[in-house]
Structure 1
């Protein structure tokens, strides 16, 4: 036999030498929930909502772990929610206070990202403002995103991350940031975000008030070309990075986007993906560490430059 590919699998050292895809801690971003009070998230074992008083410590641990970034999600008190999500763009909103606390603690030692979406802050749980028919009003929502992005930039975010899947959101936010002097603040666009069943645990984490579903603005899971179209539009509007969400069940879309993108491509290993691994591992059905490593490697192999994962801190320790 002339061809024996198994020669390159004979030892651990050999396999490491010829490995095509390598995961590094600096490519990982830790999603973090900040609220007035802390609490464990029952559907995401090992993940908690952190109080404002402790969010700086979380960021410091992320720096010590060698992570590339931290993505902050704000969880307001129920009384602070309203129809327009005003707590999302108030200077005193929980997310802005969390961003400021993190920057005060870690400065520029890690990339501080902020989720730029209103769903946590609205009393109806949708990602934007509703019109008279109860549907999300795209253009009114984009105007609110401009204000939210500015509030996050003023609080100290290095990156704002519009995740609401509104048309022209990237262009509007870029214009707002540049017009207010925040030309160095980056935009990470959730470009291909699908109306997925795997967001369930996240909604517990942020105490979502969602009524109905988000299928009129998040993408149909059956559509592949549409993900490419959305990413190309965001690139044309000036996105500094683009994202595919969820990650593991959309590797085809991720690969497509990576092929055409001339900016870094991120992918989000979402709450449901995390919880499935945890549930199976707790039952003893899979090797937890091996499954985590394999799942993130697969996302990188498909084309991601950056992975948002709740395993970021733990995975970084294994990698190091």
Structure 2
């Protein structure tokens, strides 16, 4: 057993005594205790759960779930939770070990369940071959997030039947906001000629956005920030940028900027002063919610292309 997960198990054991303490007579009904794996999913759970849920997020705003390593203290969050939600598709693959190590006894819901994943660009890992990984960044297509909301509502209902009507009502209302946002993004891109819709980002996190809204994204890294960009791959990307006269170059909020800075030097492009949010919400400001993040990304992408 890896040391961090051994520590997590020990931390979780200490919760047994605390969990056995009875609430005082007349105490208010406690909120459903929910843990979400990362910030975007946490926001979706809050929208559906409303006041009946208390949501904690393991990988908070500004942090990268691809390379996350659970902390022993977070065993308390998982051990006390009645419901845990993860993205699935390999995005938060550490979750299964964390649940086991923390002795989790509640319900675990995979928010992307039932969604057919796209395949990311072929990733080379230094073994003389390449393969296309399942792309876990489903939330970059607003319409597909309706499936997340459905899975979240079902998970909440299963964990808290008394609140099911509330969860379903919240899910329906939020679904209407998602539909409106999806149409808003489509209208925004309709003003940009298709040949101009070319964007360079840090890693291959925008495949669903590209498929949904007709935008081309090129990236030096694969679907995970943990993948390595080969020198040959970067050289090919630089040549393609020059040939196609791309002008929109972005560093993502969770990414190491050095690779994009290298591409900027070699192509003469200047990276946008406004970063993109791919796998994480912003700690505050416009992109601190899922709806806000998608509006923000769309606004800065189109602004960069229009400046060419």
Q: Specify the TM-score bucket, using the shorter chain as the normaliser.
A: under 0.3
More helix by percentage: 2
Larger Rg: 2
Q: TM-score, normalised by structure 2?
A: 0.25
Q: TM-score, normalised by structure 1?
A: 0.25
